[in-house]
Amino acid sequence: MGTIKYVKGNFIVDDVNDIGKLHSSFFGKIEKGVLTLQPEEVLYLIDIRKFDCVDEHDNTLGFNDVVKMFVNKNPKIFAFYNAFRDWRDRGLFITRPKKGIKLNRRISVDYPSEKLQLPKIKSKAYFYPFDMISVSEDLSSLRKLFEEFWIGQLGVYKRHEKGSLIKFDIFETLFLVKHTDIKFFSIEDEEELDFSTILNIVSKVRKDIKALYEVYEDWRLKGFVIKTGYKFGSHFRIYFPGVSPVRKDRWIHSKHVLHVFPKYERLLISEWARVIRVAHSVRKTFVLGIPEMKKDDFEDVELDFVAYHREGGKVITPTTGDPSFVVLTLSEDETIGGAELASALKEAEKMGLDLLLAVTDRETDVTYYLTKKINLPKSKYEYYEIEWFQP
Closest CA to 371 of 336, 324, 302: 324
pLDDT of 32: 85
pLDDT by residue (tens digit) across 130-152? 999 999 999 989 999 998 899 99
Side-by-side strand order, sheet with 10-13: 29-31, 34-37, 10-13, 3-7, 52-54
pLDDT of 39: 96
- Cβ proximity of 100 and 107 under 8 Å: no
pLDDT of 378: 85
Vertex 115, ends 114 and 120: CA angle to 5°?
135
- The Cα–Cα gap between 173 and 355 comes to 36
- The Cα–Cα gap between 331 and 184 comes to 47
> 212: part of which helix (H) or strand (E)?
helix 209-220
- The Cα–Cα gap between 391 and 371 comes to 14
DSSP symbol at 290: -
pLDDT by residue (tens digit) across 210-251? 999 999 999 999 999 999 998 888 999 999 888 877 766 555
Q: Confirm whether pTM is higher than 0.85.
A: yes
- The Cα–Cα gap between 279 and 68 comes to 39
- Cβ proximity of 347 and 303 under 8 Å: yes
Phi, psi for residue 253 in degrees, rounded to 5? -75, 150
Distances (CA, A) of 184 to 38, 216, 228, 333: 63, 19, 21, 44
Other beta carbons within 10 Å of 326 = 25
- The Cα–Cα gap between 162 and 142 comes to 16
pLDDT of 159: 64
Amino acid of residue 341 = L
- Cβ proximity of 164 and 139 under 8 Å: yes
pLDDT of 68: 96
What torsion, rounded to 10 degrees, do the Cα atoms 273, 274, 278, 281 define?
A: 70
Closest CA to 348 of 287, 304, 285, 291: 304
Q: What domains, with CATH codes, occur in the chain?
A: 3-73 (3.40.1170.20), 74-112+225-391 (3.40.1350.10), 116-221 (3.40.1170.20)
Q: Which residues of the chain have pLDDT under 50?
A: none
